[in-house]
């Protein structure tokens, strides 16, 4: 990974990353991760005729519903997409986890926790111009791990676009390039800025590989088909159309879907799992970790549909029995079966995994969640099996080999770089 860029008269050799061989693309490849883009949003926008470019990709390119990584959270899925591999390979199994050495609950956004190289870094280290742009700055370091910034790679977030520097991010004056003001953290513009920056980079520097990772503010906040959601999809579509018009292969996936976790009256439908376990086994006998936790809690109050339980006094099988008896719980697994079923790293797994159903989320105890941050909104969140269906779209048709592979099924969101680089018709 330390070879220096070389000048090339011919197409360079393919690159092997985590068991997949990527050919050297002939034209720019742009992968967009529409964070939280449940298929229902796109279906509603298509039905309303608001996304003409995406509609054209569906007609003339390739479209399917793929599965994301479980837990259906942002960090594991983004890292899966840029490594082309499941969490058992790259090691990132949540946004937040219990550090085994210290027993402390910490964020899982450090690049040092990644155990696999990214496709982006591999191309960058071989001399390709690579750009990775994220909405939330928390993802920037993992997605940009080992990019050759000094050699021309670009890696910044729209959240901190005003602070981008040539030394750290490979680019300065991002606001000037994009021609938009710094977007608010809780706004559709945080994501649209990422796409607009991708368009401007393609126009001015034409990176060979780009990864544009958005944020799920809109999907956490608005239901599919609402005016706000439809406007966002319309605005995204216009920018996807620009990327297409500039000649790029464009792939669009999502890291996870999204579901309302409310009762009929709109009130929060939550299982307070730590409270239930404390009542049954006594305080201190278990620790429930909500791996959705990040500092953007106003989206979801740190409530998701997948939690990990670490057993101290209580035996895992008795914890599992109790969890299965609770209403709204869809699946309960021990460490080994969760790791096997969902392709997760066993050494970063809890003793017990608890997953709630489509209409239910899981928290620890009310005092530990900032429910005021939800500000009376109907909670929409993710993490479980009900949020695992995601769009998988390419603006160009597949070649015969990849069409056959897609027809066999088992399409995962982290196959998108493979399909966009190796799978489109010449």
Q: Kindly list the residues in this chain that would bind Zn ion in the complex (CB under 5 A).
A: 35-36, 74, 216, 255
Chain residue at closest Cβ approach to Zn ion: 74
Q: Which two tokens stand for residue 334?
A: 């021990």
Q: Cβ 293 to Zn ion, closest distance in Å?
A: 13
User: Contact 35/215 with Cβ under 8 angstroms?
Assistant: yes
Q: Cβ 216 to Zn ion, closest distance in Å?
A: 5
How far is Cα 392 from Cα 405, in angstroms, rounded to an integer?
Answer: 14
**What DSSP assignment string belongs to 177-204?**
HHTSPPPPTTSTHHHHHHHHHHHHHHHH
Q: Cβ 74 to Zn ion, closest distance in Å?
A: 3
C-beta closer to Zn ion: residue 35 or 159: 35
Look up tokens 């997409």; give the residue: 81
C-beta closer to Zn ion: residue 80 or 230: 80
Look up tokens 């991708």; give the residue: 198
Q: Cβ 32 to Zn ion, closest distance in Å?
A: 13
Helices of type H across 61-165: 74-83, 87-90, 119-125, 140-143
Pairing of strands 286-289, 306-311: antiparallel
Q: Which positions ≥6 away from 185 have C-beta within 8 Å?
A: 159, 296
C-beta closer to Zn ion: residue 20 or 68: 68
Look up tokens 């697994």; give the residue: 333
- Torsions phi, psi for 161 (to 5 deg): -60, -30
- Torsions phi, psi for 157 (to 5 deg): -115, 150
Q: Cβ 127 to Zn ion, closest distance in Å?
A: 32
C-beta closer to Zn ion: residue 35 or 38: 35
C-beta closer to Zn ion: residue 256 or 396: 256
Largest Cα span, the chain: 70
C-beta closer to Zn ion: residue 36 or 87: 36
C-beta closer to Zn ion: residue 35 or 418: 35
Q: Cβ 404 to Zn ion, closest distance in Å?
A: 31
Q: Cβ 106 to Zn ion, closest distance in Å?
A: 19
For residue 235, give the 3-state DSSP assignment: helix
């Amino acid at each position: 990974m330390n070879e220096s860029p070389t000048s090339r008269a011919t197409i360079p050799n393919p690159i092997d990353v985590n068991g997949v061989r990527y050919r050297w693309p002939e034209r720019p490849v742009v992968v967009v991760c529409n964070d939280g883009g449940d298929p229902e949003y796109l279906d509603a926008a298509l039905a309303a005729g608001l996304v003409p470019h995406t509609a054209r990709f569906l007609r003339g390119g390739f479209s399917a519903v793929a599965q994301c990584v479980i837990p259906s959270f942002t960090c594991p899925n983004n890292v899966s997409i840029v490594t082309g591999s499941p969490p058992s390979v790259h090691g990132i199994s949540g946004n937040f986890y219990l550090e085994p050495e210290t027993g402390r609950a910490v964020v899982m956004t450090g690049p040092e926790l990644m155990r696999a190289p990214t496709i982006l870094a591999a191309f960058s280290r071989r001399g390709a111009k690579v750009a990775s742009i994220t909405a939330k700055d928390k993802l920037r370091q993992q997605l940009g791990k080992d990019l050759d910034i000094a050699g021309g790679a670009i890696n910044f977030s729209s959240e901190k676009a005003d602070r981008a520097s040539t030394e750290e991010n490979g680019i300065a004056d991002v606001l000037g390039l994009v021609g938009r003001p710094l977007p608010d953290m809780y706004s559709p513009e945080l994501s649209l800025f990422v796409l607009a920056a991708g368009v401007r980079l393609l126009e001015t520097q034409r990176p060979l590989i780009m990864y544009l990772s958005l944020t799920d503010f809109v999907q956490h906040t608005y239901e599919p088909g609402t005016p706000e959601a439809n406007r966002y999809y319309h605005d995204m579509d216009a920018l996807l159309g620009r990327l297409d018009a500039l000649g790029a292969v464009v792939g669009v996936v999502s890291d996870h879907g999204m579901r309302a976790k409310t009762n009929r009256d709109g009130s929060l439908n939550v299982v307070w799992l730590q409270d239930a376990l404390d009542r049954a086994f006594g305080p201190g006998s278990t620790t429930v970790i909500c791996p959705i936790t990040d500092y953007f809690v106003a989206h979801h109050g740190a409530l998701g549909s997948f939690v990990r339980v670490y057993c101290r006094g209580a035996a895992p099988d008795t914890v599992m029995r109790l969890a299965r008896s609770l209403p709204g719980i869809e699946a309960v697994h021990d460490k080994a079966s969760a790791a096997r079923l969902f392709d997760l790293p066993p050494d970063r797994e809890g003793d017990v995994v608890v997953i709630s159903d489509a209409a239910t989320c899981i928290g620890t105890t009310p005092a530990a969640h900032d429910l005021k941050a939800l500000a009376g909104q109907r909670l929409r969140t993710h993490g479980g099996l009900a949020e695992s269906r995601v769009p998988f779209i390419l603006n160009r048709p597949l070649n015969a080999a990849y069409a056959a592979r897609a027809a066999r099924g088992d399409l995962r969101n982290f196959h998108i770089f493979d399909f966009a680089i190796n799978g489109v018709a010449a």
